Amino acid sequence: MNLEPGKIYGLLGENGVGKTTLLTLLSGLKKTGSGTIDIDGQDPYKRQPSLLEKIYYLPDEVAPSPERATRWAKSKGVFWPGFSMDKFLEIMAEFETDPSQKMTTMSSGQLKKTYISFALACNPEYIFMDEPTNGLDIPSKAQFRQTILRHTSMDAVLVISTHQVRDLENIIDPIIILDRREVLLNASLEEISRKLYFDYGNVLLPESLYSEQLPGGFIQVVQNTTGQESKVNIEALFNAVHKNKELVKTLFSHE
């Protein structure tokens, strides 16, 4: 699997398939059992400062520091040459979070927004986020989407692991779907729309790969044999992929 600059990847998969493991492998926090990872010609597990200064990994659960957010950010920002305190404060303001507050007194949502602000303010080339919208309320999730689009470098690689696809479906593209020990799908929304058709009608289609009843009709996924365009529903895509693994791998094979 290749990750290309300038894209925001949505990393999906059932519990236990290895989404967090993949992010920690990419970040150099774990060693591969087999195979290789190459980032700019380097193995991240060797943890060379020249590569680590380009990477930021935000885990799902983050521990608070007893420091005020501004002091904490200033002390940790020295490890990333591109860190900008002005940008950190700007993003914190967009999140409506007080940067002078001690992190131990913040709610889980405020703490998560502080770490997201810091990650983007470091201006890394590679950003790996594990369930970043967990703990955020509805307004904060909208702020998160706007902040990601506004403050991520145009040539950065951003990988977001999530179960909350509705929180992110307007910003993630391409989509990666993992299964145990393999990648079921790594494709852009344009490619997905070209090969699969998402039907929102009220008649069940016998050829559907996946169908789900909605108020007033169904969402169904079928192979796109007519070239029609449709809006990709990521939840329906995920379920269709898991019900038709071998077919999907054949459809999206790039060999």
**How far is Cα 73 from Cα 7, in angstroms, rounded to an integer?**
26
Domain edges within the chain:
7-182, 189-251
CB 236 within 8 A of CB 212: yes
Which mean pLDDT values do the consecutive 10-residue runs of the chain (255 residues) have?
94 92 96 93 96 96 93 97 97 96 95 97 97 92 94 95 87 93 92 95 91 90 93 94 93 75
Structure tokens at 203: 């008649």
CATH topology of domain 7-182: Rossmann fold (3.40.50)
The predicted pLDDT at position 167 comes to 87
pLDDT at position 165 is 86
Rounded CA gap, 112 and 80, in Å? 19
Nearest to 212 by CA among 230, 197, 200: 200
Measured over the CA atoms of residue 124, residue 154, residue 22 and residue 38, the dihedral's sign is: negative
pLDDT for 216:
85
